[in-house]
A and B are shown apart, each in its own frame.
Chain A
Amino acid sequence: MKITILLWISLALMVTALYLIFVIAPIERTMGIVQKIFYLMVPMGWLALLSFLVVFIGSILYLKKRSLRWDILSYSSAEVGVIFTTLALVTGSIWAKPAWGVWWTWEPRLTATLVLWLIYLTYFMVRSFATEESRGATFAAIVGIIGFIDIPIIVLATTLWRGLHPGALIFQGGLDPTMLLTLIISLLTFSTLYALILMQRISLKNNEVEIKRMKELSQPFN
């Protein structure tokens, strides 16, 4: 029920956001039409951070409470997070081509996002390397905590290492008000989408767990 409501809200928001991006928001002077991808890139980056924050909180709670639901929350959020991080890298790359003439540049935020992506890949790998499921969940939680705490330090190091990103200008009043509104609506839209996907994934994961539990009960002596 909740999911259906959320689905409609996010659908409505999505249409609004698209309308704002392609019809209302003005075309940027120096960058031209390419700048529109900015309304996708920023929310992707934001969602990557948001989902890893959820992984972080879920991981702490899982280690403290040892309740499977927290692991399911972290796992689902990490999965969504990795997808959005991938998309952030892809959109960043598409942005980089016209902006700097190359597909990949070691620009600080892109670099930090790449490192983030690598850390959260290991979040899944360590699960599959564990000898048993519950230990894998514990190990993943450790990665989820260490990885999230590492993010500010990574950003700090990569920023000091290279120049600045246009993204840093957004909140310094360098953005046209309509552009800013479009960006905010866009962020809101994707946040709703995140909540929707996360809820779907959690209920799917719950079903998986239930099936496994039933299997275990039906053949207890393996």
Chain B
Amino acid sequence: MKFWNQVISITWKDTFSEIRTREVISSVLVFTLLVIVIFNFAFGANQETLRLVAPGILWVTFTFTGVLSLNRAFIPEKEQGCLEGLMACPISREAIYVGKMLASLLFMLIIEAIALPVFAFLFNLPVLTLPMVTITILATIGFVAVGTLFSALAINTRAREMVLPILFLPVMVPVIISAVNASKMALSGKPWNELASWIQIIGVFDVIFLVVSCLIFTYAIEE
């Protein structure tokens, strides 16, 4: 119980800070919309082509969204040495990981909840279906599970902004492949059982990396 109180306090603290400044959500949201529009130019306005590349565009965009917002996740913790203050508190390192992870998850889901309808509108695609929402939520959990760990690691390096994407992108390959393919099927109206194997891969990734990241998070922040 104490663990979850502390986790929720950390998530609450990040959320509250974000509500005040809207630093992450507003800037990343604008970026996300820009990427969607720019991709549109890259592939032309042909309805058929767009239908074909839409899942790819969607997931490249969300991957960028993830990198950008996760890059910000630990910056407030570094500004006044807050992470050290937090580490001096009688709380487990796992609580810090889960708290930060949930906050990042919340921010990313909010951004996606706004970006998805825009995407549906611009590309004339039935994006707001149960399978698509499931895929998005599961893939986002995978993003923040690994992203929170690497974000904490990156904050303690030189060239912070570069380190996160370099570490993050190759590890996320299975999630990106699965999300793109599952979305492709979902958008062409395939039934659940055909999507199942892709969704399972994302699910397995989520579970494994939530556990492993949580276990080794302490080494990313300790000296």
Q: Do A and B bind each other?
A: yes
Quick check: is A92 within 8 A (CB to CB) of the other chain? no
Per CB-CB distance, the 7 closest pairs between chain A and chain B, nearest first, are A157-B174, A129-B157, A118-B170, A153-B174, A157-B177, A119-B170, A115-B173
Known contacts A129-B157, A142-B219, A153 near B181 by CB under 8 Å: no
Quick check: is A158 within 8 A (CB to CB) of the other chain? yes
CB–CB A135/B223 < 8 A = yes
CB–CB A157/B178 < 8 A = yes
CA distance A213 to B149 in the complex (A): 31
Quick check: is A25 within 8 A (CB to CB) of the other chain? no
Query: How many A-B residue contacts, CB cutoff 8 Å?
Result: 82
Quick check: is B38 within 8 A (CB to CB) of the other chain? no
CA distance A145 to B215 in the complex (A): 11
Quick check: is A45 within 8 A (CB to CB) of the other chain? no
CB–CB B167/A143 < 8 A = yes
How many chain A residues have a CB neighbour from B under 8 Å?
Answer: 28
**Least Cβ–Cβ distance between A64 and chain B, in angstroms:** 10
Q: Collect the chain B residues with CB atoms within 8 Å of residue A139's CB.
A: 153, 156-157, 220
CA distance A126 to B220 in the complex (A): 12
CA distance A142 to B181 in the complex (A): 29
CA distance A138 to B170 in the complex (A): 19
CB–CB A145/B212 < 8 A = yes
CA distance A31 to B14 in the complex (A): 60
CA distance A139 to B149 in the complex (A): 10
**Least Cβ–Cβ distance between A131 and chain B, in angstroms:** 6
CB within 8 Å of A: which of B165-223? 166-167, 170-171, 173-174, 177-178, 181, 197-198, 201, 204-205, 208-209, 212-213, 216, 219-220, 222-223
30 example contacts (A-B, Cβ-Cβ < 8 A) are as follows: A115-B170, A119-B171, A122-B170, A126-B166, A126-B167, A129-B157, A129-B158, A129-B159, A129-B163, A130-B156, A131-B156, A131-B157, A135-B223, A139-B153, A139-B156, A145-B216, A146-B146, A150-B171, A153-B174, A153-B201, A153-B204, A154-B173, A154-B174, A156-B174, A156-B201, A157-B173, A157-B174, A158-B174, A160-B197, A160-B198
Q: Kindly report which residue of chain A lies nearest to residue B167, judged by CB atoms.
A: A122
How many chain B residues have a CB neighbour from A under 8 Å?
Answer: 32
Interface residues of B (CB under 8 A from A): 146, 149, 153, 156-159, 162-163, 166-167, 170-171, 173-174, 177-178, 181, 197-198, 201, 204-205, 208-209, 212-213, 216, 219-220, 222-223
Q: Collect the chain B residues with CB atoms within 8 Å of residue A131's CB.
A: 156-158
| Most A Cβ at <10 Å: residue of B170, B209, B222 | B170
The DSSP consensus for interface residues of chain B is: helix
CA distance A85 to B158 in the complex (A): 28
CB–CB A126/B197 < 8 A = no
Q: Collect the chain B residues with CB atoms within 8 Å of residue A142's CB.
A: 149, 153, 216, 219-220
A122-B166, A142-B219 given. 17 additional CB < 8 A pairs? Answer: A119-B171, A125-B166, A126-B167, A129-B159, A129-B163, A130-B158, A131-B156, A139-B157, A141-B219, A142-B149, A142-B153, A146-B171, A146-B209, A149-B208, A157-B173, A157-B177, A160-B201
CB–CB A63/B201 < 8 A = no
Quick check: is A58 within 8 A (CB to CB) of the other chain? no
Q: Kindly report which residue of chain A lies nearest to residue B222, judged by CB atoms.
A: A138
Q: Collect the chain A residues with CB atoms within 8 Å of residue B181's CB.
A: 160-161
